[in-house]
């Protein structure tokens, strides 16, 4: 019963480096999303997808790219890491955008 799996759990990058945060779900959910969590800010939506081949921007999309080639996978790409992107990143999936969200355990990312 894996649910939503995020990798890696921890990552340290240097400014300017790129990387991909992986997210996979095994619940056949159409809706997937990426959030970042910063102290005192709650969860802020970065990008979301309502199905394979369809993605859209959330509240804080700048500096991030996504793609959705399969129902199961929704990777988040940092194009050129900046210290302001230091955060905890959560991937979530659900049957629809306003259904209960199933979250992964997060990726803790530090940009030096």
Partner 1 sequence: TQLLEQSPQFLSIQEGENLTVYCNSSSVFSSLQWYRQEPGEGPVLLVTVVTGGEVKKLKRLTFQFGDARKDSSLHITAAQPGDTGLYLCAGDGGANNLFFGTGTRLTVIP
Residue 76 contacts residue 94 (beta carbons within 8 Å): no
Residue 23 within binding range of partner 1, rule CB under 8 A = no
Q: Which is nearer to partner 1, 80 or 99 (CB)?
A: 99
DSSP-derived secondary structure for 16-44 = T--EEEEEEESS--SEEEEEEEETTTEEE
Task: Round to whole Å and give the CA distance between 61 and 7.
Answer: 20
Nearer to partner 1, 58 or 63 (CB): 58
Q: Which is nearer to partner 1, 82 or 88 (CB)?
A: 88
57: nearest Cα among 34, 83, 87, 85: 34
How far is it, in rounded angstroms, from Cα 71 to Cα 85?
Answer: 27
Our finding on whether 87 is near partner 1 (CB under 8 A) is no
Q: Is 91 helix (H, G, I), strand (E, B) or coil?
A: strand
34 near partner 1, rule: CB under 8 A: no
Answer yes or no whether residue 64 interacts with partner 1 by CB under 8 A: no
Asked if 35 interacts with partner 1 (CB under 8 A), we say yes
Does the footprint of partner 1 cover residue 48 (CB under 8 A)? yes
Interacting residue ranges for partner 1, rule: CB under 8 A? 4, 33, 35, 40-45, 48, 50, 56, 58-59, 90, 92, 97-98, 100-101, 103-106
């Amino acid at each position: 019963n894996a649910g939503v799996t995020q990798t890696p759990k921890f990552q340290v990058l240097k400014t300017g480096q790129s990387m991909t945060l992986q997210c996979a779900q095994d619940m056949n959910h159409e809706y997937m999303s990426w959030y970042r969590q910063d102290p005192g800010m709650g969860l802020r939506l970065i990008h979301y997808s309502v199905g394979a081949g369809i993605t859209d921007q959330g509240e804080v999309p700048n500096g991030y790219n996504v793609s959705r080639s399969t129902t199961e996978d929704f990777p988040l790409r940092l194009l050129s890491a900046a210290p302001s992107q230091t955060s905890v990143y959560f991937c979530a999936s659900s049957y629809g955008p306003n259904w209960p969200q199933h979250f992964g355990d997060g990726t803790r990312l530090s940009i030096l």
